[in-house]
Amino acid sequence: DPKIIQKPKYLVAVTGSEKILICEQYLGHNAMYWYRQSAKKPLEFMFSYSYQKLMDNQTASSRFQPQSSKKNHLDLQITALKPDDSATYFCASSQDRVNYAEQFFGPGTRLTVL
Amino acid sequence: GDSVTQTEGQVALSEEDFLTIHCNYSASGYPALFWYVQYPGEGPQFLFRASRDKEKGSSRGFEATYDKGTTSFHLRKASVQESDSAVYYCALGDSNNRIFFGDGTQLVVKP
């Protein structure tokens, strides 16, 4: 059974619209993360959460908003979508947000903005 | 800021060849160093980690040694298999458990 679920697997959106990317982990982990992978930047750290609280934000734009409704959920809301937002977004988790803890990655959501 | 540089964009080998993928890092503190592997259509998978000078990490026949003097963490494997074909990422982790990835190296192993 998959340990980290990301929905949907593929997503097509029009410029200016808003989408929510879903992430659920069943590893019992306390820390969750979002990363982005695009042609311009292979794998880029975006956010980290620990016990449902935002700990780090490396994203310059406020259009990206993580949301944690449950301990094992970390969704990513993206507003006013732009073609440059086209990328695969990976959710990850680790037991805790401690030094150098191994992170487990989900299968990704591939977003295309037209 | 902290960063990782992978020299090779792509490496093409035959089965049983020796593999080296070069990784150098730049960091103000004392980071942890990782290797991750990514197969098509999947997220990156943790391969191994090292967190102090001269520590060797290893997994599945792959290994790398943390070298603070040369700021390197080169990936090596003595005999590659076709199933090792994937993208390999060297990465740097900070004390807040953020991971910063290199650009990746596509390994192609021909039978």
Amino acid at A40: K
- The whole-angstrom separation of Cα B46 and Cα B35 is 7
Q: Is A100 on the interface with B (CB under 8 A)?
A: yes
Q: For position B44, what pLDDT does the model report?
A: 95
Tell me the chain B residues in contact with residue A94 when contact means C-beta distances shorter than 8 Å.
97
User: Smallest Cα–Cα separation from B75: which of B25, B30, B41?
Assistant: B25
Between CA A99 and CA A97 the distance in angstroms is 7
Q: Which band of pLDDT confidence, cut at 50, 70 and 90, is reported for residue B109? A: very high
8 Å CB contact of B100 and A98: no
A20's tokens: 């929510």
Please check whether residue B25 is in contact with residue B3, taking contact to mean a CB–CB distance below 8 angstroms: yes
Instruction: Tell me if chain B has a CB within 8 Å of the CB of A2.
Output: no
d(CA B97, CA A100): 5
Q: Do A107 and B43 touch (CB under 8 A)?
A: yes
pLDDT band of A91, cuts 50, 70, 90: very high
- Which chain A residue shows the shortest CA-CA distance from B44? A105
Q: Is B42 on the interface with A (CB under 8 A)?
A: yes
| Residue-level pLDDT at B28 | 83
Give yes or no for residue B30 having a pLDDT over 90: no
CA dist B11 and B87 (Å) reads 10
Q: Which residues does chain A have within 8 Å of residue B96's beta carbon, measured at their own beta carbons?
A: 48, 55-56, 97
Range B37-66 average pLDDT: 95
B residues 49..88 contacting A (CB < 8 A):
49, 51
The Cα angle at residue B94 between residues A40 and A42, in degrees rounded to 5: 15
Which chain A residues touch B97 with a CB distance below 8 Å? Answer: 31, 48, 94, 97-101, 103
What is d(CA B7, CA B37) in angstroms, rounded to the nearest whole number? 16
Q: pLDDT tens digits, residue range A35-48?
A: 999 988 889 999 99
Taking all residues of chain B, what is their mean pLDDT, rounded to a whole number? 95
Chain A residue at shortest CA distance from B35: A102
At B96 the pLDDT is: 82
When pLDDT is cut at 50, 70 and 90, the band that residue B46 belongs to is very high
Mutation for testing the A interface, residue in B46, B97, B106 having most A CBs under 10 Å: B97
Residue B29 pLDDT > 90? no
pLDDT tens digits for range B52-95: 999 999 999 999 999 999 999 999 999 999 999 999 999 999 88
Segment A59-70 mean pLDDT: 92
